[in-house]
Structure 1
Amino acid sequence: MSRTDRHERFMALHGSGCFVMPNPWDAGSARMMAAMGAVALATSSAAHAFTLGRPDMGGVTRDEALAHAEDIVASTGLPVSGDFENGFGDTPEDVAETVRLAAEVGLSGCGIEDMAFGESVTAYDFELALEKIRAGVAAARSLGRPFVLTARADGVMNGVYDLSQGILRLQAFEAAGADCLYLPVPPGQAELAQILAAVKAPLNVLAVGPVQDMSLGTLTGLGVRRISLGSQMARLTHAAIRDAMAALQAGHFTPFKAAARGDEIDALLKGGRGDG
């Protein structure tokens, strides 16, 4: 799949049905996910930060995130979306530049949050958050090729505004031209249905919290178009490290019986390489 083809394919995936977009943290995990049937991938700011020994939320610079994303893009032939937090800046111009740079490294889209990072996480003022999305949409449209701009309302997940404010923001982002909308961690299925009824643009959901208790079929039936895992796959891997180390400290090696064989991993890495 050429780069142009994968950008077109990524945009088309949002047109109907529902797909799962896992989040690798390096070339190897990306290739394994591709070999196991992923149709698109996304970076994860948290998973990337973990590889650098840093915390999530503001732990990675834009240059680092772009270089990391470029490695993921090159590792497979799949379309990749970038998790670019608040656009790496507090102004609409910062978001526009981030979108242009994202396109240069071969990404097929990126997500922009409405959160400001400092000593604490707060939400941008409604109008500023909207202007940032408008700038991102304008930059995406100027590229001359498909680029899925995902607008995120993260305040419900972070406890800084309620669901009604989150829906108002999604509706404004949709009116501004965002290709995909994303309100992570709604309280439950009823609230997710409320979000879906309030907007028409494709909606991404994060497979954490209440969503983990819903099947792919249920989410598809509700009208969800895209499901991402965020840092969950990386956290699952870190849980395996934690549990294996706890076993070692206890004096036994039982967890290692579940380790994948080297030849199995080699085959997956080869099979997921694609033409990227």
Structure 2
Amino acid sequence: MTDRKPRADAFRALHVRGDPLLLFNAWDAGSAAAIARAGAKAIATGSWSVAGAHGFADGEAMPFDLAIANLKRIVDSVDLPVSVDLEAGYGDAPEDVARSVAAAAAAGAIGCNLEDGIPAGGFYETPKQAERLAVARDADPLMFLNARIDIFLRADPASHAGLMEGALARAAAYADAGVDGIFLPGLADEALIARAAKAIALPLNIMAMPSTPALARLAELGVARVSHGPGPWRMAMDAVEHAARAAMG
């Protein structure tokens, strides 16, 4: 397997406040290769897309071994750093998360997302999630750990301002646990994004959605990474369905 350290170092260096790394998320080797040909600097998977492409629902319904096999094919298909969405780590216990991170590293990933939303519903309490992240850190020192805070994604945008203090407290605890970046999917309000970018010392990741500011504005707000999540897969599937309908008259 190709030495992971150069790719890990290159991926880490791409996270620059005010000059965001754009990740147009892939779901298999073919989509990863297409995104690489378009000029991507790195490849990242999205769990929703990967699961959907294999006939599963999101939320760790896809067998872990299949997810890792898919990751390995992606890593082997591109000459770029690859980050994998590991959802909540495929297990409740810290040692489960450590095994998942180690397996992703063995498959060649140099980064991973780990979320604090529980697949069955609810959220891990901050101390427990911090412990899970600390063990993940120990499992692979090279891995760029992107700690995803799910409270905005699962809440009405009208409530987001009231959730910010809790999100920043989680971000601080996760930073103390040794993560490398903070991901706040669902957050789209410019003032709140600016507040988060100012308060969080680590690179801030925002998900591109219809309500999210444009990339140039996110750069001005201090964002360091922008992910497209399930958007690319949905667009691709819509295009296939449209073409199939046209072909069938």
Percent identical across equivalent pairs? 35
Contact 1:189 1:210 survives alignment (8 Å): no
Q: Could you list the per-position Cα deviations for residues 200-234 of structure 1 after superposition, in whole angstroms to 9, with x for gaps in the alignment?
A: 100111111421xx222211111111111111100
2:115 alignment partner, one of 107, 113, 118: 113
Structure 2 residue 11 is the aligned partner of structure 1 residue 14: no
Q: What is the CA-CA distance between 1:15 and the residue it aligns to?
A: 4.6
Aligned partner of 2:71 in structure 1 is 69
CA RMSD of aligned residues (A): 1.9
Q: Distance in 1 between matches of 2:50 and 2:169?
A: 31
Q: What amino acid is the match of 2:185?
A: P
Q: Could you list the per-position Cα deviations for residues 47-69 of structure 1 after superposition, in whole angstroms to 9, with x for gaps in the alignment?
A: 11111222212221221211111
Q: What amino acid is the match of 1:158?
A: R
Contact 2:29 2:70 survives alignment (8 Å): no
Aligned partner of 1:231 in structure 2 is 230
Contact 1:2 1:77 survives alignment (8 Å): no
Unaligned runs of 5+ in 1: 252-276
Q: Distance in 1 between matches of 2:243 and 2:168?
A: 42
Q: What amino acid is the match of 2:150?
A: D
Aligned partner of 1:219 in structure 2 is 218
Contact 1:61 1:88 survives alignment (8 Å): no
Structure 2 residue 58 is the aligned partner of structure 1 residue 38: no
TM-score (norm 2): 0.90
Map 1:182-193 onto structure 2 (within 5 A).
182-193=183-194
Q: What is the CA-CA distance between 1:135 and the residue it aligns to?
A: 1.2
Aligned partner of 1:255 in structure 2 is none
Q: Could you list the per-position Cα deviations for residues 13-33 of structure 1 after superposition, in whole angstroms to 9, with x for gaps in the alignment?
A: 125532101211121111111
Structure 2 residue 148 is the aligned partner of structure 1 residue 152: yes
Aligned partner of 1:173 in structure 2 is 174
Q: Distance in 2 between matches of 1:96 and 1:64?
A: 18
Q: Distance in 2 between matches of 1:226 and 1:199?
A: 13
Contact 1:25 1:51 survives alignment (8 Å): yes
Seen in structure 2, the aligned counterparts of structure 1 residues 172 and 71 have a Cα distance that, compared at 3 Å, is same
1:79 alignment partner, one of 64, 78, 81: 81
Q: Distance in 1 between matches of 2:39 and 2:148?
A: 26
Aligned partner of 2:62 in structure 1 is 60
Contact 2:208 2:226 survives alignment (8 Å): yes
Q: Distance in 1 between matches of 2:99 and 2:29?
A: 25
The worse-fitting range, judged by mean Cα deviation, of 6-15 and 188-197 is 6-15
Q: Distance in 2 between matches of 1:101 and 1:68?
A: 12
Larger Rg, first or second structure (1 or 2): 1
Q: Distance in 1 between matches of 2:195 and 2:210?
A: 17
Aligned partner of 2:124 in structure 1 is 124
Q: Could you list the per-position Cα deviations for residues 150-203 of structure 1 after superposition, in whole angstroms to 9, with x for gaps in the alignment?
A: 111012211399332222111211122210110101141111112112111001
Contact 1:23 1:44 survives alignment (8 Å): yes
Aligned length: 242
Q: What is the CA-CA distance between 1:140 and the residue it aligns to?
A: 2.5
Contact 2:198 2:222 survives alignment (8 Å): no
Q: What amino acid is the match of 1:172?
A: A
Seen in structure 2, the aligned counterparts of structure 1 residues 175 and 209 have a Cα distance that, compared at 3 Å, is farther
Map 1:196-207 onto structure 2 (within 5 A).
196-207=197-208
Q: Could you list the per-position Cα deviations for residues 95-115 of structure 1 after superposition, in whole angstroms to 9, with x for gaps in the alignment?
A: 111111111110011110001
TM-score (norm 1): 0.82
Q: What amino acid is the match of 1:238?
A: M
